[in-house]
Amino acid sequence: MIPPLDEDKRLRLEEVAREMRRRILEMIAEAGSGHPGGSLSAVEMVTALYFHIMRLRPEDPLWPERDRFVLSKGHAAPVLYAALALRGFFPPEELRGLRRIDSILQGHPDMKKTPGVEMSTGSLGQGLSTAVGMALAGRMDGKGYRVYALLGDGEIQEGQIWEAAMAAAHYRLDNLVAFLDFNGLQIDGPLEQVMSITPVADKWRAFGWHTVAIDGHDLQEIVEAARGAVAGRPTMIVARTVKGKGVSFMEDEVGWHGKAPSREQLEQALRELT
């Protein structure tokens, strides 16, 4: 059972989230490339998952009873790496190696190279299907673990997402909980201009998912939504977020989807995140 988030823990998680944002920006700046916008929008969800919701053993990353997390929007790798490092899956010094040759931290998540990464992703639309497979296996084996997935809003334009959505409901996978990082922007512009996904919650409801809409930067709402998963159906948490959240000049700016901050921009961002 996931415990409720008390005020004390919430304040601590807010500090973790700030630290996550600093790490994300530092590692991307150091690498000289990467995806800050969609990493920053997902910080609260990933923080809540790794520091409150999921049952994990960082010292035993393949513990069979662990909860699983699939970052289906693989380009947000920095948010996952920051969480894994701060949670103790590998030393935080590794973050400096992001995207470099021989680093354990690839440009997109790699389950073979990085402790704690459950599935290699990066080609959008594939992660949710693998999460369905993990959830099916957990049920077959009578294990109590849950599988969490984080989807991008642009990502759900991929047809495979809806194949997986159909299957998860068909198999009544109530051990599967997905988050949609609904920040409204994709590489080429606002989703509403490129390819609209609205009404998004209705779509998931129509596919048979227990669907709730929350503020994706509110830790309390995130934890309550995860606690509110129902029996007999998969859960979709549509999380309204701001791309680039936490850094004034990145917020809601499409140009920060896949660009590293300069040294000066990094310093300004870190000042905002103290």
Partner 1 sequence: MRMGEYIMTKSEATRDAYGEELLALGQVNERIVVLDADLSGSTRTSRFARAFPERFFNVGIAEQNMIGIAAGLATAGKIPFASSFAVFALGRAYDQLRTSVAYNNLNVKIAATHAGLSVGADGASHQALEDIALARALPNIRVVVPADGVETRAAVRTAAAVEGPVYLRLGRPKVPVLFGPEHEFAFGRGQKLREGSRAAIVSCGVMTYRALRAAEALAREGIEVTVVNMPSLKPLDEELLLEVARSCGAVVTVEEHSIIGGLGSAVAEFLSEEHPVPLRRVGVRDAFGRSGTPEDLFQAYGLTEADICRAVRELL
Nearer to partner 1, 72 or 183 (CB): 72
Q: Is 131 in the site for partner 1 (CB under 8 A)?
A: yes
Q: Nearest approach, Cβ of 163 to partner 1 (angstroms)? A: 4
Measured in degrees and rounded to the nearest 5, phi and psi for residue 177 equal -130, 120
Q: Where would I find the beta strands (DSSP E) of 24-142?
A: 68-71
Mark residues 66-105: x for contact with partner 1 by CB under 8 A, - for none: ----------------------------------------
* Residues 140, 61 contacting (CB under 8 angstroms): no
Q: Which of 118, 155, 174, 181 binds partner 1 (CB under 8 A)?
A: 118
Q: Is 121 in the site for partner 1 (CB under 8 A)?
A: yes
Angle formed by the axes of helices 219-227 and 7-31, to 10°? 110
Q: Nearest approach, Cβ of 169 to partner 1 (angstroms)? A: 12
Nearest Cα neighbor of 84 from 52, 115, 41, 48 is: 115
Q: Which of 9, 10, 88, 163 binds partner 1 (CB under 8 A)?
A: 163
Nearest Cα neighbor of 75 from 134, 165, 154, 163 is: 154
Angstrom distance (rounded) from CA 217 to CA 222: 8
Q: Which two tokens stand for residue 187?
A: 């590489």
Q: Nearest approach, Cβ of 47 to partner 1 (angstroms)? A: 24
Residues 2-31 that bind partner 1 (CB under 8 A): none
Q: Which of 141, 188, 192, 267 binds partner 1 (CB under 8 A)?
A: 141
Q: Where would I find the beta strands (DSSP E) of the chain?
A: 68-71, 147-152, 176-182, 185-186, 189-190, 210-215, 235-240
Residue whose token pair is 């609205």: 198
Q: Is 198 in the site for partner 1 (CB under 8 A)?
A: no
Q: Is 128 in the site for partner 1 (CB under 8 A)?
A: yes
Residue whose token pair is 């957990």: 138
* Residues 23, 85 contacting (CB under 8 angstroms): yes
Q: Nearest approach, Cβ of 264 to partner 1 (angstroms)? A: 36
Q: Which stretch binds partner 1 (CB under 8 A): 38-46, 133-141, 198-206, 222-230?
A: 133-141
Q: How many CB atoms lie within 10 A of CB 268?
A: 15
CA angle 162, 107, 138 (to 5 degrees): 45
Q: Is 164 in the site for partner 1 (CB under 8 A)?
A: yes
Rg (CA), the chain: 17
Q: Is 137 in the site for partner 1 (CB under 8 A)?
A: yes
Q: Which stretch binds partner 1 (CB under 8 A): 77-85, 157-165, 217-225, 244-252?
A: 157-165
Q: Which of 11, 144, 166, 189 binds partner 1 (CB under 8 A)?
A: 166
Size of the site for partner 1 (CB under 8 A): 31
The site for partner 1 (CB under 8 A) is made up of: 111-112, 118-123, 125-126, 128-138, 140-141, 159-160, 163-164, 166-167, 170-171
